[in-house]
Each structure stands twice: as structure tokens, then as C-alpha cells.
Amino acid sequence: MAGQGRTAVARRTAGLGLAGLLLLLSGCTGAEEPPLDPTAEEIQDTLDDRATAVLGQDRAGWLAALDPAEGALRTAQGEEFDNLAGVPLESWEYHVTGVRHQGGRAVADTELRYRIEGYDSAPVSSSRVIELAERGGRWYVTAERPGTGAPQELWQQGAVRAVRGEHSLVLGVGREESELRELAAATDRAVPTVRAGWPGEWAGRVVVLVPSSVESMGRLLGAPAAGYRGIAAVTTGEAGGGEGSPADRVIVNPQAYGLLGELGKDVVLAHETTHVATRADTSAATPMWLSEGFADWVAYRETGRTDPEIAPELRDAVRAGELPAALPDDEDFAFGGDGDALARAYEGGRLACALVAERWGEERLVDFYRAVGAGAHRDGSVEHALAQVLGTTAEEFTAAWRDYLRERLG
């Protein structure tokens, strides 16, 4: 199940000529640029040394950036460095974005950017607030914490164990290696399943994070754990991300995932891998019933299960005469609420995609998904894609979907 926060697709505009003109004009005004804070450059030097130490696996160099007087910090940071040993890093760097002075101390707002080798084509960014003190003309780190609203990183929860599959990298904390290998195998099975249902171009590589508990999962997501207790996995990533974006992260809830049978585990991993594959064509214009319904349609497509078996909650509602009046709203997919209502939302979304695949064809379903995601905003995007790709209206499609529910589940 995909993460609930979504961002709009980043769109680049060809404005280089205008930008250059504005730069020339600003240079003629005589206005003076504010002087750069020399402290920022000095702090950047300290953090550059720290980054070099990470990539060089130089524990002493990592600790050398810390204030010698901060014994507890040095112990905690030494453990964090050791926890990172299992992560195959390609790059690691800090960017100082602002400095606030507090007497002889400073607080630096920074952005940690790192890439996992073989998976991230662009850096993952993480906001960090770093406190420093000056001693003998050099700045030393005295404290470090996530920026406001920023989630934890996996290695801040314990030693990371890495298992590589054919198409997957599974990183776990507090989990047995056999469990991680099982997850890698399930993810490897998911990739060809997704390729069969989504013929679009994507990297075909999946990064899976397995924390020790649902509480740790919540910290990785920067959200309360209560909303994820019954959720087996979520996928995080930037909507509209393509080759220039970091790889999505599939985050597994070890308790909920562990309760599933083999089919359930395969369906979960195929569902989440579908989100990874479709990320470049998913945007703020894509409703949840389509993104989640399509992921479920792909995941169940080759299982041989019937619609009543796949959609038991909606089946019972339809047979009780409680046919939904409309396709599920985004709010119906919120975690932490009515579990039966959440299940009906997913089941209804999958059957909407199954209707398109059966009546118009699987290629048209993929074309429809892409056309919706290409919209500039939510309003009108589905309606436009229905008209252009399927030759129907929202009202006609909703009526056909309701008839389809009666036919398949009644």
C-alpha cells in the first residue's frame, strides 16, 4: 500500500534565456549581495570531513568531527557509524542551508544527501539539524537531530543487515538473515509479475527496508505507528519520479507481513513493486482508487483467485444490497480508520481497473493510467482521460462499474 503523502510532479521549464537575462539585469542595479557567513563555510568543511570518513569507512575520522567533550554523543555516533557498515553507499554528503548563532555556538540547518550503490540514480535527501561549538579555530559537532518532520533513517535504529536478490536489496534491523532472504526472494518474484502487467520502462530494482517493529516503521515514515499496525507494507517515493529520482523504498511492517501466507506475501510485494514501477506516471492528478486499484489488479492478475475471493468485504456489502454509489474517495484509503471500509476501497479500486482491462483491454488500462497521471492537477484529469482513452464519461463509467460489481460479486 502506498504512502499517503504525495507531491505534485516536478516539471522543468525551458527558461534559461530569461534566467540569464535576469542575472545580467540584476548585475546592473548596483545592489550588493549580502555577505556569506564565513561560519557556514567552516562548518561545511567539518561536515565534508565527516562525509569523507563515511565513504572511506574511517571510524576515527567520523568521530574526529565530534566535540571531544561530548562523551555520550561520541558513543552514540560511534554506534551509528557501525550500524552503517552494512549499507552499500555510493555517495554521502552534507549541504549547509543556513546557520544560526547562539553565543560561541552555532546551529546549522543541513541536508544530508546519500545514494545506495546500484539503486539510486539521484540522492535521497534527509533534513538534519546539527549543533556545533568552536574550539581552537575549528567547529565540532555537539548534537545532531532530524529536521522538523523528518523521519529517522534505518541505521539510526540499529545495525543494518543487507541481503541482495536478483532484482532487490533488502536492508533490515533486528531481523534474521533467513527472513531477509525470504523477502528478497518474494521481491524478485514480484518484478516479473509487475513487468507482465505494466509494460512501461522502469529500473526493475526494488529497495526494501525491514525495521524491527511497527513502532520503528512509524519512525521511518515520520508518522504515528498506530495507523500502520494492520498494514503489511508501504512504499515511499516522489510522485512523477523518473530516472533522475532516488529509488522508492518499500517499508515492511514485520508483524503484519509475518502473519500472511505465501500468496499474501507475494501479493503484498507485487502491489508495492507496482507502485515503484508506476511512480513516473503517478502524480497529484492520480486518484487513490486508480493508483491503489491498479497495484492490486497487477498483484492479483496471475493468482487464479476469483473476484469474490479477492474482494470479500465488498462482496458481502453487494450481497447485502449495499452497492457503493460512487468510486472510492481518497479519504476512504486513510490508514488507522475502519478496516472494513479500507478493504472495500481497495477492492473497489481493483475492480474498476479490472473493468477497464476486460471491456477496453489491458493496453488501454495502462494508457488510461498514464493519461490520468499526465494531468496538471486533479480536477478534470480522470474525466479527460476517460473521454480521450476510453471514449466514455465519468457518469457512464461509474454506472458501468456498479453494474460490474453486481455481476462479479452478486
What is the pLDDT, as a whole number, of residue 1?
A: 52
What is the pLDDT, as a whole number, of residue 18?
A: 28
Give the max Cα distance, the chain: 78
What is the pLDDT, as a whole number, of residue 121?
A: 84
What is the pLDDT, as a whole number, of residue 36?
A: 53
Alpha-carbon gap, residue 318 to 398, rounded angstroms: 15
CA dihedral 366, 370, 373, 374 (to 10 degrees): -170
What is the pLDDT, as a whole number, of residue 397?
A: 98
**Alpha helices, H only, 31-99:** 38-55, 59-64, 71-83
pTM equals: 0.86
- List, in order, residues 6 or more apart from 156 with CB less than 8 Å away: 80, 83
pLDDT values of the chain reduced to their tens digit, one per residue, 410 residues: 544 333 222 222 223 232 232 222 233 334 444 445 778 999 999 999 999 999 999 999 999 999 999 999 999 999 999 999 999 999 999 999 999 998 779 999 999 999 999 998 889 999 999 999 998 889 999 999 999 889 999 999 999 999 999 999 999 999 999 999 999 999 999 999 999 999 988 989 999 999 999 999 999 998 888 888 889 999 987 665 555 567 789 999 999 999 999 999 999 999 999 999 999 999 999 999 999 999 999 999 999 999 999 999 999 999 999 999 999 999 999 877 788 999 999 999 999 999 999 999 999 999 999 999 999 899 999 999 999 999 999 999 999 999 999 999 99
Contact 346, 232 (CB under 8 A): no
What is the pLDDT, as a whole number, of residue 242?
A: 56
The dihedral built from the CA positions of residue 65, 70, 71 and 72, taken in this order, carries a sign that is negative
Ordered domains of the chain (ranges, CATH): 38-150 (3.10.450.50), 153-279 (3.30.2010.30), 283-410 (1.10.390)
Alpha-carbon gap, residue 65 to 48, rounded angstroms: 10
What is the pLDDT, as a whole number, of residue 35?
A: 44
What is the pLDDT, as a whole number, of residue 34?
A: 45
